[in-house]
Amino acid sequence: MPKARSSIITIAKYTLMDQVRQKSFIIMFVMCALFLLLVRNCSQGGFMVNGQTLDNEAVVRVVLKAVFHINAAGTMFLAALFSMRVFKRDRDEGMQSCILSKPITRWQYVAGKILGLLVLSVAFMFILHSIVFIMFSVNLKVVMPEYLIASLLCSFNLLFVVVAVLLFSLLMPDIIAFLCVTGIGIVSFVADGIAAVSRSPMGQAMMQQSDSTSDLSLWKVIYYLWPKLSGIQQAASSMFSREGFQGFLSIYPFINILIYSLILGALLFWRFRHEDII
């Protein structure tokens, strides 16, 4: 078992190193740094509306929440980009046959790939969130350690994205695999947006007027079974945005994504076991 663990860690290490030296990774990192420079001004404090000074902490929480969601969603997108060509690149550069001609099992190879991509994506997101956290903490003297914990909770989403893209890239062209997972994410965010509107007084009034209960219950089932990528971000951000813990509703997205990740992971291992190595 220690030998298996060391093989997985070695493969993960090289996956990470190979990704970091990709031009696309460097470009993405520069773009994220530019984005952080743009939000830097929000951390200066002294916000005024109609001549009245606003409560710094309240504004900071709103800005932090927005930046948190953009960072988390953006990193999911990047994780999908990082993952989509991993198997193909290894195949083309001869590393797949090089690794698997050694006493390394296929599950160790796949586990190493998942671990490498996950560590890279989580580190990427955590560093961006940490920079924002430090910027706001230093300038406004408002320290919210929950922000960093919330960032780590979003790793569930990254696990889902990495596993899903790796699996889909074995079944379809890389770009389609990337688009499929991106589509799943977009649908999740849009569905949560619609659900939020439907829970508002205006939405409730509209639903009472229309008489389509059976259709709605079907959509509700799909809504709850759909990968709750947006739900995890909402639940995580509730930790620092004073929305409060909502019991099962806060935990459900994590259970949902964990189950999806386990199922997709099992399918990925099974599919790769039957893959012909070129």
Among positions 23, 37, 52, 102, the unique one binding other proteins when judged by CB under 8 A: 102
- From the list 154, 142, 131, the residue with the least C-alpha distance to 236 is 154
The reply to whether 20 sits near other proteins by the rule CB under 8 A is no
- Closer by beta carbon to other proteins, 11 or else 128: 11
Closest approach, Cβ 13 to other proteins, in A, equals 8
Among positions 8, 60, 79, 99, the unique one binding other proteins when judged by CB under 8 A: 99
The reply to whether 101 sits near other proteins by the rule CB under 8 A is yes
- Rg of the Cα atoms in the chain: 21
Using the structure block, give the residue that is written with the tokens 């490498």: 116
- From the list 9, 153, 156, 8, the residue with the least C-alpha distance to 79 is 156
The reply to whether 170 sits near other proteins by the rule CB under 8 A is no
Give yes or no for a contact between 72 and 151, defined as CB atoms under 8 angstroms apart: yes
CA distance 162 to 178: 10
Residues 21-60 that bind other proteins (CB under 8 A): 21
Closest approach, Cβ 102 to other proteins, in A, equals 5
CA distance 71 to 55: 24
The reply to whether 201 sits near other proteins by the rule CB under 8 A is no
Closest approach, Cβ 119 to other proteins, in A, equals 17
Q: How far is CA 80 from CA 76, 153, 161, 164, 273, in A?
A: 6, 18, 6, 9, 22
Among positions 24, 53, 97, 130, the unique one binding other proteins when judged by CB under 8 A: 97
- Closer by beta carbon to other proteins, 46 or else 102: 102
Give yes or no for a contact between 157 and 76, defined as CB atoms under 8 angstroms apart: yes
- From the list 156, 166, 122, the residue with the least C-alpha distance to 269 is 166
Closest approach, Cβ 123 to other proteins, in A, equals 21
The reply to whether 11 sits near other proteins by the rule CB under 8 A is yes
The reply to whether 104 sits near other proteins by the rule CB under 8 A is yes
Closest approach, Cβ 177 to other proteins, in A, equals 22
The reply to whether 100 sits near other proteins by the rule CB under 8 A is yes
Closest approach, Cβ 98 to other proteins, in A, equals 7
Closest approach, Cβ 2 to other proteins, in A, equals 10
In the chain, alpha helices (H): 2-20, 23-39, 56-84, 86-92, 95-100, 106-140, 146-153, 155-171, 174-199, 201-209, 213-225, 229-237, 248-273
Residues that bind other proteins (CB under 8 A): 3, 6-7, 10-11, 14, 18, 21, 92-95, 97-105, 274, 276-278
